[in-house]
Amino acid sequence: MAGPFIVVIAGLFTAYLAVKSNDGLVDGDYYKQGLAINKMNEREQKALSLGLQATLMQSADGAQIRALLHAGPGVVLPEVLKLHIVHPTRAGVDQNLLLRADGGGAYSGKLGALLVGRWHIALEDEKNEWRLTGNWTIEQDASLQLPVIAQAVK
């Protein structure tokens, strides 16, 4: 009798875990997100045409994030940048920040939590005209260079 009882308890516990923890992997609005991909690609092309490059760094204590933004000649840098920090599998730890200009192309903002592991990063202007994206594994790289330019394989 102990065997079937243990299986029933394990099944109930598994059902509890399935209901209690949302993995967030499938978005209910996936079709509209798919349609928006072309718009995002246009914004990334716009960033390249403006000669935009950024370097992101997390402070040593993990409380702040800093961005250094460079642009082509004649491009006026915005006062505020939007930074989206998205975990690949855990939507509950994603962060959306506003980075304010400190002068000289430097921007900073306060992080809600320490970044550890791998993250999808999107940096954009407030008007959503351009966007720089990349993937950042914090333990491997102290900073992230955007845009990420693929190097030729030799």
Residue pLDDT, tens place only, 36-94: 666 668 889 999 999 999 999 999 888 999 999 999 999 999 999 999 999 998 888 99
Distance in angstroms (rounded) separating the CA atoms of residues 3 and 7: 6
Confidence of residue 21 (pLDDT cuts 50, 70, 90): confident
Q: pTM higher than 0.75 for the full model?
A: no
Q: What confidence tier does 153 reach under pLDDT thresholds 50, 70, 90?
A: very low
Give the residue among 54, 83, 84 at the shortest CA–CA distance from 145: 54
State the average pLDDT over residues 29-42.
68
Tokens of 15: 């059902």
Q: Is the pLDDT of residue 154 over 50?
A: no
* Tens-digit pLDDT profile for residues 124-150: 999 999 999 999 999 899 999 998 764
Q: How far apart are the first and last CA of the chain?
A: 64
What domains are there in the chain, each with its CATH number?
52-146 (2.60.40.10)
